[in-house]
Amino acid sequence: MRTALVTGASSGIGAEIARRLDSLGFNVIITARRADRLEALASELKNKTTIITADLSDREECYRLYGEVKDMGVSVVVNNAGFGLLGNFDDTDLERELSMLDVNCAAVHIFSKLFIRDFIRRDRGYILNVGSSAGLMPGGPLMASYYASKAYVVSLTQSIAEELRARGSKASISVLCPGPVETEFNDVANCSFAIKGISAEFCAEYALKGLFARRTVIVPSAGMKLTAAAVRVAPRNIVLRTARTMQSKKIKDRV
Ligand SMILES: NC(=O)c1ccc[n+]([C@@H]2O[C@H](COP(=O)([O-])OP(=O)(O)OC[C@H]3O[C@@H](n4cnc5c(N)ncnc54)[C@H](OP(=O)(O)O)[C@@H]3O)[C@@H](O)[C@H]2O)c1
């Protein structure tokens, strides 16, 4: 039986990816901080499910998690845990922001490195890093750190993918870059979307199709693909100004 690890599986995109992997016949290892949520998800799944609670803002917890799963035959890793913060850079809380960088970047970096070594050795395995369409933009005023963290995930993943291609490895790495998805993301970031999001179910299904087709950058929804293409050719200062206007519409209770 194939085994997958999904981080941030207690809600949103991660929970849907875990459900989808279970329906594809995987044993799923689900991780997040909220044990009650993970238990509720596990009770729905058909195949063997392993729950491991971990706070991925803590590097020691990342190493502990890897140590617990490394001999469980994991062939799919979904680095999905993450969150956002909204506000002017000088206003947002520094400690929360650093914690965000630990989850969005350091944990993704650690698991990408440790698992890609295993997968290269076995010449098989898939890593899906959950980035964001934010990572395809030159920046995101009012969500500066979040956009920068996702640009890191996109850049890291694309470089590793090219290294794997150049050496003919069958190990594979992809980055998922959705636009807005209807999840608990907004409650955590204390914002509301300026445009309607896609469902987490659609996002998960699209992501896994792209992952198993070995696509490096996976952008669900035609609208976001178009936006990403436009951003590549538009002047950066115009894109940054437009992004700031879009972000300002997300601020809840704005005056
Ligand atoms: N929703 C969107 O519009 C959107 C768009 C593009 C990209 N994304 C990305 O998609 C990913 C999933 O987000 P979502 O939209 O599904 O939001 P969500 O519903 O809030 O889920 C976030 C998940 O991350 C976990 N998490 C957060 N901090 C953690 C920590 N310190 N340690 C361990 N787990 C942690 C949460 O679990 P616990 O709280 O239980 O620990 C939860 O399971 C994120 O990387 C996000 O940046 C979201």
For 19-73, write each residue's pLDDT tens digit. 999 999 999 999 999 999 999 999 999 999 999 999 999 999 999 999 999 999 9
Instruction: Compute the distance from residue 8 Cα to the ligand 1 centre, in Å.
Output: 6
Residues with CB under 6 A from ligand 1: 8-14, 32-34, 37, 55-57, 80-84, 103, 130, 132, 178, 180-181, 183-185, 188, 197
Model pLDDT, residue 88: 95
Query: What is the number of the ligand 1 atom nearest to the C-alpha of 33?
Result: 41
Q: Looking at the chain, how many residues does it have?
A: 255
| Active-site annotation, residues | 146
Write the CB contacts of 80 (distance below 8 Å, at least 6 apart in sequence).
6, 7, 8, 9, 13, 14, 17, 128, 130
What's the number of domains the chain is made of? 1
In a domain, 244, yes or no: yes
Cα-Cα end-to-end distance for the chain: 54
Q: Report pLDDT for 245.
A: 87
Partner residues linked to 181 by β-bridges = 198
> Which pLDDT score is estimated for 252?
62
Closest CA to 248 of 98, 86, 46, 63: 86
Task: Tell me what pLDDT residue 243 has.
Answer: 86
Closest CA to 173 of 228, 108, 81, 100: 108
Residue 253 domain-assigned? no
Residue 243 is assigned to a structural domain of this protein:
yes
Distance in Å, CA 80 to ligand 1 centroid = 6
Backbone angles phi, psi at 198, to 5 degrees: -85, 165
Examine residue 255 and state whether it is found in any structural domain, yes or no: no
What would the two tokens of residue 175 be?
A: 């980055």
Range of the domain at 136: 3-248
Residue 141 lies in a domain: yes
Atom of ligand 1 nearest to the CA of 37: 40
CATH number at residue 34: 3.40.50.720
* CA-based radius of gyration for the chain: 18
Alpha-carbon distance 151 to 244, whole Å? 17
CA-closest residue to ligand 1 atom 34: 32
Picking from 169, 176, 167, 172, the residue whose alpha carbon sits closest to that of residue 228 is 176
**What's CA 113's distance to the chain center, in Å?**
16
Q: Give me the pLDDT at residue 255, please.
A: 35
pTM equals 0.96
Taking 70 as the pLDDT cut, the residues of the chain under it are: 252-255
Exposure of 163 in the CB half-sphere (CA atoms within 13 A): 11
